[in-house]
């Protein structure tokens, strides 16, 4: 079958799920949903109260709702996911000139948060099943390049300290987080979970389901406009460590000491807190989270039915003992020839966008971006074989309910 016919076959199968947009509509990759929620009501209540910044009841209500849903002991709401990760890394003790290990497949903000602290991103390969940081590759890399000096883990190739590891739950699919935590513990490295895409994703541990972000010392969430719930812009830190939670709240509120009227600050902090207006939207969004995940599971099954049996494609499934929120449902092109993969991929992306159906290639691996090309890295065989194969499909929970067919 020619590349053109393969692309047409894939697109025809996608259209059976999404429908074909009319001339006045567009099927986005992951669209926010506010209609038929309490968002307008709660925002008005926030405005009427006068507490529209980071003080007032709505931020506390939102944090409590996140805690209840994730079963975390502490939640600190901040103004975006990048800020949350930067703050988490700071709390983990990352200092300028120290290396932080991360996978190359993530949104660039994962590496940027490290750079904002003066840290050095250090890339270790992914695994194919869930696209997350590979625990085997991590252990091999640390064994090969590290030595302990004065209680610190030192990269013998660079002379720099390795300060932390940041696994990413890519597209909402849980990484092999228990295996990664074992490696981190063996090398005495703090683990900060980038769960920006994974609100509503769980890992089964023995007889209980644990939310992503709660196995490492700290986890972070994002509520950007394209996430499963949104506050317009926002993020949060999750932790079961009371001391870290107190420190996070203090630093994210300009390190201001509590007092009824006086302004005293005891260290350099940040103005990172989530405004009340955004938190009010978040409270309304969280009320809909469980139903959205159910809608997305139905959507995933529709894609699996239409695309799973095609000769040249694979829909990425949630691993055993994992529940994914299916934030971005992902298609893998399975042809062996690299030229053929690129031709089919480009043809599929071009035709889908002409139709008004937004497919998206996976992010360009971070280690290939100009500002990160010279960063330390292990062998990256899997990511360099995988990234051109991966295409994100329209994954909004409301797709099936508003399916529109062009006449």
Per-residue pLDDT of the chain (407 residues; tens, 9 = 90+): 688 899 999 999 999 999 998 776 899 999 999 988 999 999 999 999 988 888 789 999 999 999 999 999 999 999 999 999 999 999 999 999 999 999 999 999 999 999 999 999 999 999 999 999 999 999 999 999 999 999 999 999 999 999 999 999 999 999 999 999 999 999 999 999 999 999 999 999 988 999 999 999 999 999 999 999 999 999 999 999 999 999 999 999 999 988 888 999 999 999 999 999 999 999 999 999 999 999 999 999 999 999 988 999 999 999 999 999 999 999 999 999 999 999 999 999 999 999 999 999 999 999 999 999 999 999 999 999 999 999 999 999 999 986 544 43
Q: From its phi and psi, is residue 45 left (phi > 0), alpha (psi between -120 and 50) or beta?
A: alpha
User: Which CATH class name applies to 39-286?
Assistant: alpha beta
Kind of pairing between the strands at 313-315 and 330-333? antiparallel
Fold designation for 3-35+289-402: 3.90.1150
All CATH 3.40.640.10 domain ranges of the chain, comma separated, are 39-286
CB contact at 8 A, 244 and 219:
no
CATH 3.90.1150.10 residue window(s) in the chain: 3-35+289-402
**Within its chain, how far is the Cα of 119 from the centroid?**
20
3-state helix, strand, coil in the chain (%, to 5): 40, 20, 45
pTM: 0.96
pLDDT by residue (tens digit) across 33-65?
Answer: 998 899 999 999 999 998 888 878 999 999 999
Q: Which of these is catalytic: 15, 176, 181, 227?
A: 227
Q: Is 305 a catalytic residue?
A: no
Q: What angle do CA 8, 30, 332 make, to 5 degrees?
A: 45
Listed residue (15, 93, 68) closest to 393, CA to CA: 15
């Amino acid at each position: 079958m020619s590349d053109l016919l393969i692309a047409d076959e894939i697109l025809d199968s996608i259209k059976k799920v999404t429908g074909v947009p009319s001339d006045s509509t567009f099927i986005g990759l992951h669209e926010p949903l506010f209609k038929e929620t309490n968002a307008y009501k709660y925002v008005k209540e926030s405005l009427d109260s006068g507490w529209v910044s980071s003080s007032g009841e709505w931020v506390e209500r939102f944090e409590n709702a996140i805690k209840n849903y994730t079963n975390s002991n502490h939640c600190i709401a901040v103004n975006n996911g990048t800020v949350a990760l930067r703050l988490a890394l700071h709390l983990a003790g990352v200092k300028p000139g120290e290396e932080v290990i991360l996978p190359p497949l993530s949104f660039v903000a994962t590496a940027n948060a490290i750079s904002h602290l003066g840290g050095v991103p250090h890339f270790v390969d992914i695994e194919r099943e869930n696209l997350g940081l590979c625990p085997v590759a991590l252990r091999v890399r640390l064994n090969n390049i590290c030595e302990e000096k004065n209680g610190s883990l030192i990269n013998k190739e660079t002379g720099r300290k390795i300060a932390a590891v940041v696994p990413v739950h890519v597209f909402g699919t849980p990484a092999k987080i228990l295996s990664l935590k074992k490696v981190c513990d063996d090398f005495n490295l703090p683990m900060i979970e980038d769960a920006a895409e994974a609100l509503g994703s769980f890992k089964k541990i023995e007889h209980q389901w644990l939310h992503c972000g709660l196995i490492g010392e700290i986890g972070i969430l994002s509520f950007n406009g394209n996430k499963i719930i949104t506050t317009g812009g926002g993020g949060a830190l999750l932790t079961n460590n009371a001391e870290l939670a107190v420190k996070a709240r203090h630093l994210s509120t300009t390190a201001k000491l509590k007092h009824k009227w006086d302004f005293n600050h005891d260290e350099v902090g940040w103005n990172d807190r989530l405004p009340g207006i955004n938190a009010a939207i978040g409270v309304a969004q969280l009320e809909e989270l469980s139903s959205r995940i159910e809608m997305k599971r139905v959507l995933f099954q529709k894609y699996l039915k239409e695309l799973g049996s095609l000769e040249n494609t694979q829909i990425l499934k949630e691993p055993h003992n994992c529940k994914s929120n299916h934030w971005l449902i992902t298609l893998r092109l399975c042809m062996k020839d690299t030229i053929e993969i690129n031709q089919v991929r480009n043809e599929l992306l071009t035709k889908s966008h002409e139709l008004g159906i937004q497919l998206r290639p996976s992010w360009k691996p971070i280690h290939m971006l100009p500002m990160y090309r010279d960063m330390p890295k292990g062998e990256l065989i899997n990511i360099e074989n995988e990234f051109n194969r991966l295409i994100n499909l329209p994954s909004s929970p409301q797709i099936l309910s508003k399916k529109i067919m062009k006449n």
